[in-house]
Amino acid sequence: MFEQIARDQDHLDLLVNNVFGGPYDARSTQPFWERPLSDWEQAIDLGLRAHYVASIRAAQLIVPRGSGLIVNISSFGSRNPMFSVAYGVSKAGADKMVRHMGAQLEGSGIAAVSLWLGPVRTERILALKVDVIEGFDIDTCESPEFPGRIIASIIEAGDYVQYNGQVLIAAEVAVARGIVEFGGAIPVSLRELLGGPEFS
């Protein structure tokens, strides 16, 4: 894919890392020692590794231009126990990756950021026909389009360098940039309930 971009487009402006192995059973109460090893394989060997590999390949196209943005989609699961131990490790790793990439990108005109989403009402979640996700009413959860609109706002404004190396809470960035959900709902940050990033 990156070879095709280099050949056909000659440059890259944005990479969003959002691959995730799953499936994790959000309703499971099994402790980590009873969970299958595939939790780790899917979250780390596939998910987190793909973030790293894609970031390397993207940076090879972005850095020579002196402008661009790399985003790791993460969650409050980086800080709080959610789903499985492997899930938390993968999200914490994605955040730490951004911190270290950001240090090496300093002054380059490129930014690497991690974006914490709240619960998202994906098609997969909606298919479960539940009213609550991780204790949150499904109607108040973020839409799948929400993070894309935030990232588009950042890339279009070109002011992403201010965020380099940071972990951002999507709802807070949205409010600061005047982005609301379709239908006009104002996103709510879960910082007060779940805490914020260890570094920002």
- List the chain domain ranges: 2-194
What is the per-residue pLDDT across 156-190, written as a single tens digit (0 to 9) for each?
Answer: 999 999 999 999 999 999 999 999 888 788 888 88
Q: How confident is the model at residue 27 (pLDDT cuts 50, 70, 90)?
A: low
Q: Look at residue 125 and tell me whether its pLDDT is greater than 90.
A: no
| 87 classed as catalytic | yes
What is the per-residue pLDDT across 136-157, written as a single tens digit (0 to 9) for each?
Answer: 777 778 888 999 999 999 999 9
Rounded alpha-carbon distances, angstroms, from residue 28 to 1, 9, 35, 85? 36, 45, 9, 12
* Dist. CA 75–CA 148, nearest whole Å: 15
Of residues 87 and 49, the one with the higher pLDDT is: 49
Q: How confident is the model at residue 21 (pLDDT cuts 50, 70, 90)?
A: low
Q: Look at residue 82 and tell me whether its pLDDT is greater than 90.
A: no
pTM, whole model, 2 decimals?
A: 0.90
% of the chain residues with pLDDT over 90: 50
Question: CATH assignment of 2-194?
Answer: 3.40.50.720
Mean pLDDT of the chain: 88
Of residues 110 and 45, the one with the higher pLDDT is: 110
Predicted local confidence at residue 101, as pLDDT: 97
- Residue 156, CB half-sphere, CA atoms under 13 Å: how many? 7
Kindly name the residue from 24, 87, 160, 163 that is annotated as catalytic: 87
